[in-house]
Structure 1
Amino acid sequence: MDILETITANTRREVAWQKQTLPVDALLRLGSPWLAEAPRSMRRALAESETGIIAEFKRRSPSKGWLHEDAKIEAVVPAYEAGGASACSVLTDSEFFGGTLEDLQQARRLAALPLLRKDFIVDEYQLYQARTSGASAVLLIAAVLSPDECRRLARTAHELELEVLLEVHTPSELSHLNQYVDMLGVNNRDLGTFHTDVENSLRMIDLLRRETGGSEGPLLVSESGISDPQTVLRLREAGFRGFLMGEAFMKTGDPGRALAEFVTWLKTPQP
C-alpha cells in the first residue's frame, strides 16, 4: 500500500472503534456549546479577505516527520488569528499527523476564525464529530472517496451546517464535484508519493474555471507546498482565493510570527 492507502485504512479502523465506543446518539447527548449557533462561513471569510491565508496547525507530516512536536494550540492558533489568518486548518489525525479532536475543540474555544477539520473523512460519523467539536468546514478528499460517497458526505455536512472543501489533485477527480461543495481545493501534493509541485494548481486553473462556472461556483483554494509570498500573488492572479499553508509556518520556532510576517508582506504594495 502507498501512504494514502495506509492512512485511510487506519482511519477506517479508528472510526469503526469510535462509533462502537460512542455512537452518534450518545455523542449528541453529551452536548456541545457550538451546536446552538451556525458556524462562521469559511467560504465567505476567504472571499472577503485580502490574503486568503488558511493557516494550518500541524505537528508532523508522514513525509517530513515532526515539524513542531511540542506545538500547543493555545500558543499557535490565537497568534494565527492575531497575525491575519483568514481561517485555520486543524489536523485531527493522531497516528500520522500528531493531532486530535481536542486540538480542534481548544482552537474553537480560543479563536473566532472559521476552522477546518482536516482529516481523512470516510464516514458520516466524522462529520458529527466535527460539528460538535466546533468546526466550520470539513475536508473531503477525492482520492479516498467515490463520487457517490463524496456527494453523500457533502450533503450530510450541509445538513449539519458545515461547509465543504473538496480536495482534488488530478483533472479526473473533478468528477467528485457536486452541488454541496462550497470550496474546491487543488492539492499540490500527490498523496500517494507526497511529491509536491505548486505548479499543479496553475496547470489546472482553466479546467477549474470551466468545471465550476467561474465566480458562481465553488471558491478556489490552492493547498500545500506554498512558502513564498510571490507564489500566493501568482495564484491569486490566476483566480485562487484561498491558500492553505502549514509547514512554512509550523517548522519555525514561532508559527504565529511567521504567519504575521507573511501576511504583512502580502499587504505591502510591491514596487
Structure 2
Amino acid sequence: MDSILNAIVDNKRREVEAKAMLGIYDKALSHATKSVYTPVSMSRSITDNEVGIIAEFKRRSPSRGDIHPGAVADEIVKGYTKSGAAACSILTDTVYFGGALSDLALARKSTSLPLLRKEFIVDSCQIFEARIYGADAILLIASILSFNDIVKFTDTAHQLGMEVLLELHDMDELDRFNPEVDMVGINNRNLSTFVTDTDVSLRMASALPDDIVKVAESGLSSIAEIHRLRDAGYRGFLIGETFMKHQHPGNALKDFINATE
C-alpha cells in the first residue's frame, strides 16, 4: 500500500481506535444481533435482476473531488430503486468520500433493495456497525487485508446474516481469495494510484471460479463495456460517478438501463 490508499487506511485505523476509546463500539457489539431488520441476499438480487447494476451513492472521491456534494442519501436511493437497480452501494467514509453511517441509515429507511456498506474495513467492529445501520453486505478489500483477516471478517459477517463482496484488483491478490465469500468484485481502479483501466475486469475474469457471482467495479460508463463484461461472466456492475455526476442520478440510471436493452 502507498500513496492515497495508505493515507486512507491509516486514517481509518485512527478512526476505529478513537471510536473504541470512546466506547462507541460497545453499543454496536451488544445491539448488532438485536436489529429488527433482517438482511436480504445481495448476490441473489444481482443474479435475479436483468441488468445487475449496483448503483452507488457518493458525494466525492480522492480522484475526482466533489461529484455531488449536496446529495441526500434517501432521495438518491429512492431514485435508484424506482429506476431498476439490483442493489445500492453506500460510501460511509467521511474524510475522503464525504459519506457517513447516517447515509446508510437513511438509505435503509428508503428502500427494500440490498445495501452494501462501502467502507475500508480494518476491524470487526465495523462489521457490527454495518449490521446496526442496515447493511445487507459488506466490502472487504484484499489489498489492505491479510488472508486471515478476510476469513475472520467473512465469518463475522455471515454470523450476522450479511453477505461479503471481496474486492480484488490484480492476479497477485488471488492468494487472498476466500471461497466462503458470496461475491467477488474486480476493481478497475488501482487504489494506490486511482488510475482506472476497465480492461482489468476482463483480464481477471478467467482466473475466478465459475460459480462465484462476479462484479465489475469502477470506471464503467458505456453500454458496450457492460455487454463485454457480461460476455466474460460478470453479473453485477458497480457504478457510481457515472450516475452521481448528474443532478438526478436515478434518471441517469434509468436511461442507462434502457440503453442496455
State the TM-score bracket (shorter-chain normalisation): over 0.9
Structure 1 partner of 2:166 = 166
Structure 2 counterpart SS, 1:207: coil
Q: 1:92 to 1:34 in 2, by over 3 A?
A: farther
Structure 2 partner of 1:118 = 118
Whether 1:248 and 2:242 are equivalent positions in the alignment is yes
Structure 2 partner of 1:225 = 219
Whether 1:16 and 2:10 are equivalent positions in the alignment is no
One-letter code aligned to 1:138: I
1:236 paired residue among 211, 230, 234: 230
CA contact (8 A) 2:88 2:116 kept: yes
What is the alpha-carbon distance in structure 1 between the residues aligned to residue 153 and residue 175 of structure 2? 15
1:65-144 correspondence runs (5 A): 65-144=65-144
CA contact (8 A) 1:169 1:186 kept: yes
Structure 1 counterpart SS, 2:127: helix
One-letter code aligned to 1:5: N
Quote the offset at 1:37 in angstroms: 4.5
CA contact (8 A) 2:187 2:201 kept: yes
Structure 2 counterpart SS, 1:18: helix
**RMSD, aligned CA:** 1.4
One-letter code aligned to 2:181: V
What is the alpha-carbon distance in structure 2 between the residues aligned to residue 118 and residue 34 of structure 1? 22
Quote the offset at 1:27 in angstroms: 2.7
One-letter code aligned to 1:186: I
Query: 4+ residue stretches of structure 1 with deviation over 6 A?
Result: none
Q: 1:19 to 1:180 in 2, by over 3 A?
A: farther
One-letter code aligned to 1:26: K
Which moves more between the two structures, 172-181 or 70-79? 172-181
* Normalised TM-score (structure 2): 0.96
One-letter code aligned to 2:233: G
One-letter code aligned to 2:245: K
Query: Aligned residues, how many?
Result: 260
Quote the offset at 1:201 in angstroms: 0.5
| Percent of pairs with identical residues | 48
* Normalised TM-score (structure 1): 0.93
CA contact (8 A) 1:164 1:183 kept: yes
Q: 1:110 to 1:104 in 2, by over 3 A?
A: same
What is the alpha-carbon distance in structure 1 between the residues aligned to residue 26 and residue 32 of structure 2? 13
One-letter code aligned to 2:228: R
CA contact (8 A) 1:151 1:176 kept: no
Q: 1:21 to 1:101 in 2, by over 3 A?
A: same
What is the alpha-carbon distance in structure 2 between the residues aligned to residue 140 and residue 24 of structure 1? 19
Render the CA deviation track for 1:149-204: whole Å, top value 9, x for unaligned. Answer: 11111111111111000000011111111132100000000000000010010011
What is the alpha-carbon distance in structure 1 between the residues aligned to residue 110 and residue 124 of structure 2? 26
* Gaps in structure 2 of 5+ consecutive residues: none
Structure 1 counterpart SS, 2:220: coil
What is the alpha-carbon distance in structure 2 between the residues aligned to residue 107 and residue 174 of structure 1? 32
What is the alpha-carbon distance in structure 2 between the residues aligned to residue 108 and residue 38 of structure 1? 11
CA contact (8 A) 2:37 2:134 kept: no
